[in-house]
Structure 1
Amino acid sequence: MGSKKNMITDCLLAKVNFPLYAAEMLTSRHLLVAGGGGSAKTGVANGFEIYELYHNGKYFVAEEIQRHETGSRAVMNMSLKHIDRRALLVAGQEGHSQMFVISSKVGQLPTKETQISSRRESSSTEVRQRRRTESTSQDTPKSQISTTTDSSGNQMKRIYFDIKAADSVQTDFSTEPYQRVVRICLNGKFMATAGIDGHVRIWHFPRMTPFHDIKAHEKELDDLDFSPDGKYLISIAKDGIASVWSVNNGKEALKLKWTPPENVKYLYKRCRYSTIEGETDKYRLFTISNPLHKAGKQRGFLQQWNIETGRLNNIVSIDESLSALAVRDDGRFVSIGTMFTGSVMIYIAFSLQQVLYVPNAHSMFVTGLEFIPVLNKDAPPISSDAEASVISYSVDNRICIHSLQYRHTLPAWAAIFLIIVILFLTFLMCSYFGI
């Protein structure tokens, strides 16, 4: 599982040799991407790659620092939470949620004229399967750390990560179990999973013990998300229903309702809650929706919802079906990715005004999006000349970044001068008319 590093092209950060299905910002400066070829013996590896991101004054650069293989199971979805200076990563592998404990370390790596890798073999870990499953042994993971030297060839200290497999639980119980999505709530108390059996399961976290088992939908789930306060959970599925559930009692609290254009049936594709910039107790809800049948000129929609009534606050149409949705951690920007052209767009969250459009960023549909964070407290955010930057990834094996440059605004001195001029002209006009 290798990749090209230090890619400096306009959009491309890195290219890996396996399909990409999930990504998380491991720290404010480290990106973790995951995927793989699955259990088929195709020679395509399964697991994670970790990149360190930085801005060199002209563009973003991604340097691969570590890889971790997960044996015969690809990582199809994941969610991450920092607890007690460790990152707890829950990865969806077939019908299970597998937890990985990731600890950051600083050390000196072996020095050579060219980059070398030290491979560490982790012993096979017996994982605990709960709820109608038997214990199985975890495939032996492998971690690989690239090295860095200074211009004199001396050893350099840098951050790397110790990745260990921990507990595992079965989360989907259909005939051919498959977990479609996993989410950890912002306060770290609960985890939610959903698959193709139509159930939404809420778990205590990080113990991963059952809390609620909700028969939420008649068809397989597509997405889940917790509200920022951890009180609600939204689920969307291929039955065309979007329901909001009370985390406390597992009961339905709200159902999203709208009237699609020309009575065409639409399906929700992705859902995301977000905080509201400058507000501590308020939040927004976004979804993207696509027509069930791709005939004619039907469009995809980016939707912003009233969380009290379940009715639309705002809606924007896009010329094609949508595949990915992300909101920046401060709630200021929302980004979407498209299905057919692999394009990426950024919108202002409160108004849904488009501020960036990147056509054909990928050769296939955008699997997911991840904003460069601005609120992480583990380290200062990456300094750049961009107002917002979003990472996109796809099954075309490409990791790209798209930056919104700061929009030109009127300088403060010019605004003051303009106000003075307007007041002066108003005074002259009033004097002329004797007002």
Structure 2
Amino acid sequence: MSRARRNTEGLLARVNFPLYTLQMLTNRHVLVAGGGGSAKTGVANGFEIFELNYDGKRYVAKEVVRHETGPKVVMNCAAYSNSKYTYLAAGQESHCQLYKVQITVEKESTDKDADNKAPNGVTDCSGLRNRKKESKPSKDFGGTGNENKVLKFNFLAADSIQTDFGKAQSKDDKTDAEAMQRVVRISRCGKIMACGGIDGHVRLWLFPSLKPHKDIEAHSKELDDLDFSPNSKLIVSVSKDGRGLVWDVVTGKLVYELKWVPLNGTKHLFKRCRFGVVEEDRRKSRLFTISNSTGTSSKNANGVITQWDGDSGKQLRQVSVNETLSALSVRDDGRFLAVGTMFSGTVYIHIGFSLQRVMTIPGAHSTFVTGLELLPAEGCAISSNSEAAVISISIDNKICIHNLPYRRTLPPWLVVVVIVFVLFLTFAFCSYMGL
């Protein structure tokens, strides 16, 4: 059964711009991005990095660095790390801007050092703004108490490529839609980057060289989402044309189409898609999609979470949600998934295998959830007393975290006592009946 609670302690931080996308840069650093666009509203565009920690009672966040992107808002992003760099691919209008993020461990500067270096916390001309650090070491954020060191993030702008070219949306519409990248994903092996946008194409690039690999004319309308399979051999695309398609990454050919009979015979449109591993067998994969009903008013529409076999595209199970869905995240081990809603700002956590809802956070945000990220189960440096935790963002400028406490189970000794008691009653009953 789902447990509902009000979001009274989930706020991690507030920023001064609307948020559209987030990524985990390290196992304890989260990047959020967004902005006010090119209009001169005074709302900045860019991204911020926060360091997460659990203080024994709740999660806390510490701002590490902020990077402004000028007049271009960051609507989507993807990150990948290797032994040398962390790469960030950021969607900025019709282009994808690649950043190399150098992460170094340096001695923490004192207030006096910071005052001598630069006014207003500006460290260089790249647009980065580092907040002044406390002069005392902190155990809360990875310090040992004996050292005064911090992580420093240095963003190096690399190539920028055009990934979408726009098109007319219908035969009656003679005006080309403005080109806009809607989604970017990097394969788990780190060798391929995929982008999709208004023109309906799925464009694959060799990564990080950004040399063209495949241009797939996938959909007749704009893309909503993309995702790579765990083995990086397949990529799924969903679009406003109502189709969910899975492609071969090497050849660019169609492998299968997601086909299912919607609940109650109502037509649904796919909104988001994510692959996940099968917890019991990591060689297999599951595919999760969220979709929303059409033909009804937006506030009365219902959403559906569907689970598919990742290799064959066979529908496995689905559950209905009495709200329009807007965001989806699947944990790295495939055990949990989280969804966000369009109007109430609610966040749900489900079990990946059964799709059973195990937690409800009503009103996590004041408006629709634009992004979700489940904290990784593997290699996570943040220790807490929760079974799962998900970060959520919205255009209400809030970054929130919601943790699922360990679900109660019977202690082993009690299970043994119950079994012995049942066996005793069975033996007594058989003796009484003369069996």
TM-score in terms of structure 2 length = 0.89
- The whole-number CA distance in structure 2 between the counterparts of 1:142 and 1:14 is 19
Counterpart residue number, 1:285: 287
- Pairwise mapping of residues 409-424 of structure 1 onto structure 2 (< 5 A)? 409-424=409-424
**CA distance in 1 between partners of 2:399 and 2:159 (Å):** 29
Displacement of 1:394 in angstroms is 0.3
Distance 1:146 1:281, change over 3 A: farther
Partner of 1:341: 344
Alignment of 1:200-349 (within 5 A): 200-295=202-297, 297-349=300-352
Query: How many residues are matched?
Result: 407
The separation in 1 between residues aligned to 2:420 and 2:132, in whole angstroms, is: 60
Aligned-residue offset at 1:262: 4.4
Query: 1: distance between equivalents of 2:127 and 2:267?
Result: 44
Matches within 5 A, 1:127-206: 141-150=127-136, 156-174=148-166, 175=176, 176-206=178-208
Structure 2 residue identity aligned to 1:433: M
Aligned match of 1:362 in 362, 365, 369?
Answer: 365
Q: Find the aligned partners of 2:160 and 2:185 in 1 and give their Cα distance.
A: 15
CA contact (8 A) 2:186 2:193 kept: yes
SS of structure 2 residue aligned to 1:351: coil
> Which amino acid is the alignment partner of residue 164 of structure 2?
D
Distance in 2, Cα, partners of 1:114 & 1:285 = 51
Structure 2 counterpart of 1:132? none
Shift of 1:425: 2.6
Moved more, 191-200 or 142-151: 142-151
Q: Which residue number corresponds to residue 385 of structure 1?
A: 385
Task: Measure the CA separation in 2 of the matches of 1:301 and 1:30.
Answer: 31
Query: Is the contact between residue 180 and residue 221 of structure 1 (CA under 8 Å) also seen in structure 2?
Result: yes
Q: Give yes or no for contact 1:148–1:155 (8 Å, CA) kept in 2.
A: no
- Name the CA shift for 1:244/1:342 in 2 (closer, same or farther; >3 Å): same
Matching residue's letter, 1:330: D
Identity percentage of aligned residues = 51
Specify the code of the residue in structure 2 equivalent to 1:359.
Answer: P
**Cα RMSD after superposing both structures:** 2.2
Matched, 1:397 2:400: no
Tell whether the 8 Å contact from 2:180 to 2:197 is kept in structure 1 after alignment: yes
Give, in whole Å, the separation in 1 of the partners of 2:102 and 2:280: 32
Q: 1:110 to 1:9 in 2, by over 3 A?
A: farther
Contact persistence 1:65–1:146 (CA under 8 A): no
Q: 1:198 to 1:311 in 2, by over 3 A?
A: same
Query: In the alignment, residue 154 of structure 2 is paired with which amino acid?
Result: D
Q: What is the deviation of 1:308? A: 4.3
Distance 1:333 1:141, change over 3 A: same
- In structure 1, the gaps of 5 or more residues are 1-7, 123-139
Question: What SS is found at the alignment partner of 2:418?
Answer: helix
Matched residue type, 1:88: Y
1:119 Cα shift? Answer: 1.6
Q: Take 1:329 and 1:42, find their aligned partners in 2: how far apart are those partners?
A: 38
Is this contact kept in 1: 2:137–2:148, CA < 8 A? no
Partner of 1:429: 429
Q: How does 1:18-97 map to 2 (within 5 A)?
A: 18-97=17-96
* Counterpart-to-counterpart distance in 1, 2:337 and 2:368: 18
Structure 1-normalised TM-score? 0.89
Segments of 4+ in structure 1 off by > 4 A? Answer: 113-117
Displacement of 1:309 = 4.2
Equivalent residues of 2:227, 2:273 under 8 A apart: yes
Given residue 106 of structure 2, which amino acid in structure 1 is its aligned partner?
Answer: G
TM-aligned CA distance change 1:363 to 1:415, over 3 Å: same
Letter in 2 for 1:106: V
